[in-house]
Structure 1
Amino acid sequence: MTDPYYQDDRVTLYHGDCLEITAWLDADVLVTDPPYGIDYQSGRDRDELAASIAGDKDTTSRDTALTAWGARPALVFGTWRIPRPERTHTRLIWDTKGALGMGDLSVPWKPSDQEIYVLGKGFAGRRDSNVLTCPPIQATAKNGRLHPHQKPVDLLWRLIDKCPPGVIGVELDERYCEVIASRLAQGALDFGSTS
C-alpha cells in the first residue's frame, strides 16, 4: 500500500495513478475530473501548464475507475462529446459565465459550460438548480491557474457540500500534489468540521 502524500484529520491525498492506488475506494463519495476521452490538446502557448492530459485518448481510465467504484455516490466531470458514464441519473451543468476556451471556430458560439454527472445515491442538502454558475480559474498560470484543468474552490465546495463526509484525493502529477498539500496545510480549502 502506498503511503499518503498528505494527510490531516479531514483529508488524505495520494500521489499516483488512481487505477493503481486503491485507497480512494474507502471514501464515501467520489468527486472526479477524469480524462474525458477527447484527446485534449491545447492550442495555447503554455509556459507551465500541460498542453495535454494523460490517458485522454478514450474513456478507459474513467470507466475503469467507475467500475471499481461501483454503484456508490459519484460526481463525474465530463463532456457531451462522448457517452456519459453508465448509471448516470442526473446531469449538472457548470455555467462558466462564458469563460471557457475557443471551441469550434467554424460556428458563431463558444463553449461556456461543462457537464457533471451524478451517479449513485446519498446526496443531501437543499434542493437547488442543476445549473451551477461559477467563473472558472483564469486560463494561464500567470493569471492564477495552478493546474491545467483546475476547478474553482467555490464550485467544488457547492458540490462537496451535498456529499457524504470524508475526502480522499489522488493526483497523478507530483507537482500538483505539492500545490494541493500546500493549500490544505494553509487551510485554503475548508472541508468543514470532522464531527
Structure 2
Amino acid sequence: MTVVDTLALDIKPPPGGQVLHDSDRATVIWGDCRDPQVIAQVPDGYGLLCTDPPYGVRYNSGRSRTFTEIPGDDGAVDWPTVLAEWVGPEGTCTRGLKDARHVYVFGYSEEQLAGPLRLGATADLVWDKTQVGMGRLDIPWGPQHERITMGVHTKRRSGRDRGDGQAAARMRRGTVLRYPRANASSAVRHPNEKPWRLVAELIESSTVRAHRTQDSDLVVDPCAGSGSTGVAAVLSGRRCFLVEVTRSDAELAVERVQAVEHLVKQMEAL
C-alpha cells in the first residue's frame, strides 16, 4: 500500500487500492471496497461504520455531462454481504468493528442488515431532507426522506439472540434528523452527497473524541463518495478511513478532507 500521485488517470483501481491521502486524521484510498486486500487495510477494533452504499436503483441525474451512473448501483452487488466483511468475519471477536459498537447504513432496512452485519439492538432513523424530490410523478406524493438503519454490532450469537445493545448512543436523540439535501442546482460535486452536519450528528452520537486525535475513535466509510463522512469525522475531532472506487470522487474526498484538516489545525493553533 503506497501513497501515489493523485493525478493518475487510471479508470479502475489496482488490487489493494492506492492511498491518495494518509495523515494522523484521515486515510483516503482509491479502491474497490469488495477487494479483500483493501478490506485487510482497515485497522481492527475501529469505532464506527458509517456508509451510504449504492441502493441498486441505477441513479442517473439526466445530466450526463455532470454525473454518470454510480458504480455498483445496478442491483447486482449484495451490499449487506460486502459490508459484513468490513465489520469482521463471522466467528471472529477482534476483527473489524469493535464489539458492541455502532453501524449506520443509509438506504437499507434492519431486515437486510441484521444478519450479515451481526446486529443486536437496532433503530430505524429517518433523514428528513426538508425538500420534496422528484420520485414517481404518477402519484401525488414525492419523496422527502431517506432511511438510515442504526445497529449495535454484536459479535457473539448469544448476544444477538438476546438483542444486546448496551452500548447506547452517547447522546439520546429523536429518530428524525432534519438536514436539507443539496438541490439539483447545487449538487455539483456528487449526485448523492450527504450534508456533513447530518453525518456529524451520527458520529457525535456513537463515537468518542479523545484529548489527542490519535486516541479518538476511527470512523470507517467503505463507500465514501465525495468524502462527507471524512469531513464530518475530522471536524468532530475523530479519525477517518475512507475507500472510494471512482477516481474522481476519491480525489474530491481528498481535497475536502485536506481542506478541513487545514482548518482544524488553524483552529487548534489559536
The interval holding the TM-score normalised by the smaller chain is: 0.7 to 0.9
Q: What pairs up with 1:1-195 in 2 under 5 angstroms?
A: 1=1, 2=16, 3-20=18-35, 21-22=38-39, 23-24=41-42, 26=44, 27-36=46-55, 38-42=56-60, 44-58=62-76, 60-70=78-88, 72-79=101-108, 84-86=112-114, 87=119, 89-100=122-133, 102-120=134-152, 122=167, 124-140=169-185, 143-164=186-207, 165-166=217-218, 167-187=240-260
Q: By how many angstroms is 1:189 displaced?
A: 9.2
Between the aligned partners of 1:106 and 1:49, the Cα distance in structure 2 is 25
State the TM-score, normalized to the length of structure 2.
0.61
CA distance in structure 1 between the partners assigned to 2:247 and 2:104 by the alignment: 24
Measured on the aligned residues, the alpha-carbon RMSD in Å equals: 2.9
Distance 1:85 1:66 in 2: 9
Letter in 2 for 1:84: Q
Instruction: Rate the CA distance shift 1:40–1:4 in 2: closer, same or farther, 3 A.
Output: same
List gaps (5 residues or longer) in structure 1: none
Say which SS state the counterpart of residue 260 (structure 2) adopts. coil
The answer to whether the 8 A contact 1:25-1:69 is kept is no
Figure out how many residues of one structure are paired with residues of the other and give that number: 189
Contact map agreement 2:54 2:73 (CA 8 A) in 1: yes
Moved more, 157-166 or 54-63: 54-63
Unaligned runs of at least 5 residues, structure 2: 2-15, 89-98, 153-164, 208-216, 219-239
Query: Is contact 2:172–2:205 with CA below 8 Å preserved after alignment?
Result: no
Q: Secondary structure at the match of 1:169?
A: strand
Aligned-residue offset at 1:158: 1.1
SS at match of 2:197: helix
Give the distance between the partners of 2:243 and 2:43, measured in 1 at CA.
11
Deviations 1:170-191, CA, capped at 9 Å, x for gaps:
1111111111111111117978
Higher-helix-fraction structure? 2
Structure 1 residues 116 and 54, CA gap change in structure 2 (3 angstroms)? same
| Residue type at the aligned position of 1:40 | R
- Report the TM-score, using the length of structure 1 for normalisation: 0.82
CA distance in 2, matches of 1:96, 1:190: 27
> 2 CA distance for matches of 1:25 and 1:16?
16
- CA distance in structure 2 between the partners assigned to 1:93 and 1:4 by the alignment: 33
Match of 2:191, as an amino acid?
P
Shift of 1:103: 0.9
